[in-house]
Amino acid sequence: MENCIFCKIIAGEIPSPRVYEDDKMIIINDIEPKAKLHYLCIPKTHFALLSEMGEREAEVLKYCFEKIASLEETLGLQEGYRVIINQGENGGQTVRHLHIHLLGGEVLGGF
Ligand code: AMP
Ligand code: ZN
């Protein structure tokens, strides 16, 4: 997808060290961390919103959540973490390529 920063990171056009990568997703460190650990899990399939999800996107997201769960220890998230998917304008979504924030490494404040 043209002009999508996360598609460019996935394609290697913008350098960003991978914490994890496979054929369906990458995990990188957020450039502006909001917690001691702040990862972004980015599906390699470009879609912006949950409302755009078809069968393929739903499969990829299911895969991402299962993989995240299996990587908890590797990521240092075994004591718990917060999962956030910002959606649209009111949700504060700045990058219109769906991604999963993983925040942890410390006790997080409440909402
Ligand atoms: P959101 O506001 O939910 O769309 O999240 C976008 C996130 O991407 C923000 O937390 C940004 O700090 C992060 N971000 C933007 N550009 C980069 C980049 N080049 N590498 C890593 N994280 C980035
Ligand atoms: Zn994209």
Q: What is the pLDDT of residues 71-86, one digit of tens each?
A: 999 999 999 999 999 9
87 lines ligand 1 (CB under 6 A): no
Is residue 98 in some structural domain? yes
| Spans of the chain, pLDDT less than 70 | none
Q: Give a yes or no: residue 40 inside a domain.
A: yes
Q: Name which residue sits closest to atom 17 of ligand 1, judged by CA.
A: 31
Distance CA 87, CA 26 (A): 20
In a domain, 109, yes or no: no
pLDDT value for 85: 98
**Domain tally for the chain?**
1
CA angle 14, 73, 35 (to 5 degrees): 60
Which atom of ligand 1 lies closest to the CA of 14? 19
* pLDDT for the residue 2: 81
CB 33 within 8 A of CB 17: no
Residue 84 covered by a domain: yes
pTM assigned to the model: 0.97
Which neighbouring-strand residues pair with 101?
40, 84
